[in-house]
Structure 1
C-alpha cells in the first residue's frame, strides 16, 4: 500500500478548508510581493525576540502597513517571537506583545513557554503558534500544547509524512510544516555550533550558519587530501516538496510553510508563485491533477541549493548533504520590477534591480502563470534618453515589451 493510500485511510482530522500557503518576508517589500504572488499568510520578524536578527525586520509602523496591505488580499501576518529567552531578554515583552495585537498581527510564532504564556495573558486576540524550535515530533506532545490552548503547532523539520498522519489522527489541531527551503544540520532548534565558534547564539537570533562554512579534515594533525583546500561543508540540501503536494494535502497538513526570511524578493515571489499555482490546480481538479514541469523549472530559477524531500519519506543519508561547491541548475538574476504598462504603446516602465542591456534575452513573469521571454530592444531613462545599458540600481527604465504586463510583474535574466 502506498504512503498516500495509507494516509487516506486514517481517522478523522481537523484541517483548514484548503492548506494555507505561508511565506517568509524579511522586510516590507518582500511581504508585499509574497502576498501579491499568492501567499495566504506571511511570517515576519520584529526588531526583538526573533531568530533572524540579521534580516531587515519590521518596526511596529511597518507591521501596521504590512497588515493593511495583506488585508486587501485577504491574507494574514504572523510575527516570529521564537527566541529562547534569557532573563535580560524579557524586559518589555508585555508591551511588545500588546503592540503586535494592536497592530493587527494575526498570530505570533513562539517557542519559549514564558512568551507563550505571556501572550495568552496580555494579548488574547493574538493566536499563539508553537514554533518549530520546540522540535515537536509526536502526537502526545502536540496534544499537550493543544491542552495549553494553542490552535497550531509547527512541527519539527524531522517529522515524517507517516508521523504527521498519526498526529492528525490523534489530535484535532492545525499542523504547520515546512515544505520548502533550507534545512538545519542539527535537530531543529538545538544547534550550538554558532555559539561555540562565534559566540553568536543560534537560539537568540544570532546564527552564523556555521554548517555552511568550508572545512578541512585532519587526522593526527595531517590534512586529509591536502591538495583540496576546504574540502567540505556540513550543510544539507534544501527541502522541496512541490512534487508531493497531493500527499501533503491528503495527510492533513494545514499550513505549507516556505523558509527564507533572509532570501531575496525574487526568490520569495518565484517560489510562492509556483506553489500557489500547484495548490490551486490540485483543488480545481483533485482527480485529474498533474504536476507541471514549468512549476519545477520556476523553482530552479530561484536562488537555491540542490533539492530533496527532507525527512518526509526517509531519514536523509550522506547523499543528502552538500560536500562540493554548490552549483545552481539554471541561475538567474533578478533584473527589474514593472511599475507601469501602457497598452496603447506596449511600453513598460521598469525599475532596474540588476544590470541589463539591449540585445540581451530576459524573462517576464507574474502571479498566476504570466510568463514570456524576449530580447531587450531600445531602452531609455525617464527623460527619454537612449541608454546602452541599465547600470544604476533602482533606475527607472522605459522599454517596449512583447506582451501586456501588470505592476509588480518581474523581469529576470540568465547569468550564463
Structure 2
C-alpha cells in the first residue's frame, strides 16, 4: 500500500536562458535546471555564462528557489579539461547542485568542489532499485530516473532505498534509452551524448516493405511520413499517482522550449500540486488544467512507461492530432488601476479586433477582444507589428507585471 508523503515535492522547471529562468520561478517553480557553457547536453540552448548564473541565483534566492546546473555529457578525454575549475566556479556562484552522468565528472566535481551537491542524471539510465542503492552508497543524495521506469518500479525504489527521487512528469521523450543514442552521430556526425543531437528520430522517413528490393514504399499510403519519434510525456491527468509514491522532485523537460511553454506548463503543475495538497482526499481533476496544457503542447501526449509498455499508439505516426497553436503575444510591464490601461511589450504581432487571453501565476486567466492600441508615444495604432515595441491596451480585468498575453494562431 502506498504512503502519501507529508510534504509537497519540488517542482523543477527547465530554463534555457536567464529570461526563462525568471519566468519559470515567477510562475511557480521551486527549482530550475540550466546549462553552462561546458559539459551540458543542450549545445544549442541559450546556455548560461557565469555572470548569468550569478544573476539567476540571486533572482532565485529572492523567491526561495534553487538553481541546478546540468553537466551531463558522456565525456571523452578531451572533454575533461578544466572540469575541476568549472565545478568550483559553480559552487562559488551559489549553484545548489549539479546534474552529472559520467563518473569522471563526478570525480572532478568532488575534487574541485567537494561541498557541491551532485544529482545523477537521467542519462545514467537508472531503472532499478539496486542501481539507486549503488548511488546512495556512493554518497549521492538524489537520482534522476530513466524515463523508461514504471510507477510500480518507482514504488519499489522508494520503499527499499532512502534517497531523493527525481522523475519526469512532462516533456519530450527520447526514442532511445534515456538519451543514449548514436543515430545523430551516425547520420550527421553530431554527438547526442555530448550535446549535439540533430533530432534524427524526428525526421520524416520512407518505410519499405521487408524482404523486398526497396521498390514497395508502404509509407506512401500513410497520412504522413514515418518517424521514429515518440509522443510527448504528460502526467497532468494522473499526477496524484506520482505524488502518493513520495517522489521528491517532479521534472519538466524543455530547456529549448519557449517562454510561453515554460510559463504555461509550470503554472498548470503548480496549480495541481497545490490543489492536491490542500485536500488530498477530495482532490478532483479540473478540465481547465488539461485544456491549458494543450495550449502549450507541440505534439500528441502520452503517459509513456508509467502504466504500461508503450505501443504504436504512443508514437508519432499517422494522422496527427489537431493541436491548437498559440502565440505569446505580449508581456505585461505595468498596469494603471485608474484607467485600466496595461503597458505591454509586444512579443508577436497583435491587432485591434484580436481575441486574446491574459494569464498569470496562480492560474489567473481571462479573455477579451482588443478594442484599442496605443504606441509608446500615445498614438493610436491598429496593429503592434514591431518586435518588442511598447504598447498600451485597455484591459477588462486587472493584470500584473509578468502576466502574459497569448493569442490563438
Same fold, judged at TM 0.5 (above): yes
Any residues of structure 2 matched to 1:173-252 within 5 Å, and which?
A: 173-219=163-209, 220-225=213-218, 227=220, 231-252=225-246
Any residues of structure 2 matched to 1:96-175 within 5 Å, and which?
A: 96-175=86-165
Q: How many residues align?
A: 405
- Of 39-48 and 386-395, the range deviating more from structure 2: 386-395
- Of 300-309 and 159-168, the range deviating more from structure 2: 300-309
CA contact (8 A) 2:342 2:392 kept: yes
3-state SS, counterpart of residue 343 of structure 2: strand
> Deviation of residue 226 (structure 1)?
6.7
3-state SS, counterpart of residue 96 of structure 1: helix
Q: Spell out, residue by residue over 1:28-87, the C-alpha distance to the aligned partner (whole angstroms, 9 max, x if none).
A: 000000000000000000011000001011000000000011111100000000001100
**C-alpha distance 137-227 of structure 1, shift in aligned 2 (>3 A):** closer
> Deviation of residue 221 (structure 1)?
2.3
> Deviation of residue 125 (structure 1)?
2.6
Aligned to 2:34: 44
> Deviation of residue 227 (structure 1)?
4.4
Aligned to 1:413: 407
Give the TM-score taking structure 2 as reference length.
0.96
Q: 1:269 aligns with which of 231, 250, 263?
A: 263
Aligned to 2:63: 73
Aligned to 1:365: 359
**C-alpha distance 136-57 of structure 1, shift in aligned 2 (>3 A):** same
Q: Does 1:400 align with 2:390?
A: no
**C-alpha distance 289-16 of structure 1, shift in aligned 2 (>3 A):** closer
CA contact (8 A) 2:219 2:226 kept: no
Q: Spell out, residue by residue over 1:283-331, the C-alpha distance to the aligned partner (whole angstroms, 9 max, x if none).
A: 1111111111111111100142100101000010111000136444222
> Deviation of residue 8 (structure 1)?
3.8
Q: Give unmatched runs, 5+ long, in structure 1.
A: 1-5, 10-14
Distance in 1, Cα, partners of 2:346 & 2:322:
23
Give the TM-score taking structure 1 as reference length.
0.95
**C-alpha distance 109-226 of structure 1, shift in aligned 2 (>3 A):** closer
CA contact (8 A) 2:3 2:246 kept: no
CA contact (8 A) 1:16 1:174 kept: no
CA contact (8 A) 1:303 1:328 kept: no
Q: Does 1:379 align with 2:373?
A: yes
Q: Spell out, residue by residue over 1:241-290, the C-alpha distance to the aligned partner (whole angstroms, 9 max, x if none).
A: 01111110111211000000000000000000000000000111111111
Q: 2:311 aligns with which of 305, 308, 317?
A: 317
Q: Does 1:57 align with 2:52?
A: no
Distance in 2, Cα, partners of 1:366 & 1:226:
44
3-state SS, counterpart of residue 282 of structure 1: helix
Alpha-carbon RMSD across the aligned residues, in angstroms, is: 1.4
Distance in 2, Cα, partners of 1:74 & 1:381:
37
CA contact (8 A) 1:134 1:189 kept: no
Q: Give unmatched runs, 5+ long, in structure 2.
A: none
> Deviation of residue 385 (structure 1)?
1.3
CA contact (8 A) 1:274 1:299 kept: yes
